[in-house]
């Protein structure tokens, strides 16, 4: 390969490395923000009840999805 091509490839790799490092930093910040938000939410009144309601809703939706999938299997093709 020509030296110029190798230099261009090196520059592109360095640029991509910088982008990936920036993305990793952003992911870390978002993770910290998410954890902080969750911890703050845990301190609000009614947190336990809200979690129980979410669990119940999730179970109902899963049962509904299973029921719909079962109905689709029963339909003639």
Six-digit token pair at 37? 């938000």
Quick: pLDDT tens for 1-58.
Answer: 899 999 999 999 999 999 999 999 999 999 999 999 999 999 999 999 999 999 999 9
pLDDT given for residue 74 in this prediction: 78
Report how far residue 14's alpha carbon sits from residue 22's, in angstroms, rounded to the nearest whole number.
12
Quick: pLDDT tens for 51-71.
Answer: 999 999 999 999 999 988 888
pLDDT band at 77 (very low <50, low <70, confident <90, very high): low
């Amino acid at each position: 390969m020509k030296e110029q091509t190798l230099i261009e490839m090196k520059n592109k790799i360095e640029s991509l490395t910088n982008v990936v490092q920036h993305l990793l930093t952003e992911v870390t910040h978002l993770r910290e923000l998410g954890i902080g938000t969750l911890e703050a939410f845990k301190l609000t009144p009614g947190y336990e009840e809200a979690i129980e309601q979410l669990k119940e809703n999730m179970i109902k939706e899963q049962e509904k999805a299973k029921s719909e999938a079962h109905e689709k299997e029963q339909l003639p093709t």
